[in-house]
């Protein structure tokens, strides 16, 4: 590897399948360029970079973010359920979340 090359990864996961694609890239490559170069869009055609958010190691990032050596670009799927709405519904149903999950014991 020469000085003008870096190693980056592009990651995407579905409930039953995940893919992390490591590859060499030119220094200064953007997150969008890395995603397109990785081939992940061909493997998962449902990815729409206009809709899906991306991040670098769990921190939201923009498509034009330049990458550094050993960065991992993550492509996020939309949430199926809004966590705030799930908590509101649980509270409305009288359920209590506790360590390990489950329902609250019935009140006497």
22-77 tens-digit pLDDT: 999 999 999 999 999 999 999 999 999 999 999 999 999 999 999 999 999 999 99
Q: Looking at per-residue confidence, does 78 or 55 come out higher?
A: 55
Nearest residue to 24 via CA among 43, 39, 37, 36: 37
Tokens of 63: 């498509």
Q: φ, ψ for residue 60 (rounded to 5)?
A: -55, 140
19-34 tens-digit pLDDT: 999 999 999 999 999 9
Give the domain ranges of the chain: 5-75
Tokens of 11: 């990651």
At the topology level of CATH, where does 5-75 sit? Ubiquitin-like (UB roll) (3.10.20)
Tokens of 85: 């709405």
Q: Say yes or no to pLDDT of 17 above 60.
A: yes
pLDDT recorded at residue 71: 97
Reported pTM = 0.72
Pairing of strands 5-14, 72-75: parallel
């Amino acid at each position: 590897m020469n000085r003008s090359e870096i190693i980056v990864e592009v990651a995407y996961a579905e409930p039953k399948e995940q893919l992390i694609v490591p590859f060499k890239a030119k220094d200064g490559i953007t997150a969008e360029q890395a995603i397109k170069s990785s081939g992940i869009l061909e493997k998962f055609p449902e990815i729409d970079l206009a809709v899906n958010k991306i991040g670098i190691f769990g921190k939201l990032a923009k498509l034009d973010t330049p990458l550094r050596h050993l960065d991992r670009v993550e492509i996020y799927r939309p949430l199926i359920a809004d966590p705030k709405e799930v908590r509101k519904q649980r509270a409305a149903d009288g359920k209590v979340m506790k360590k390990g999950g489950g329902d609250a014991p019935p009140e006497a």
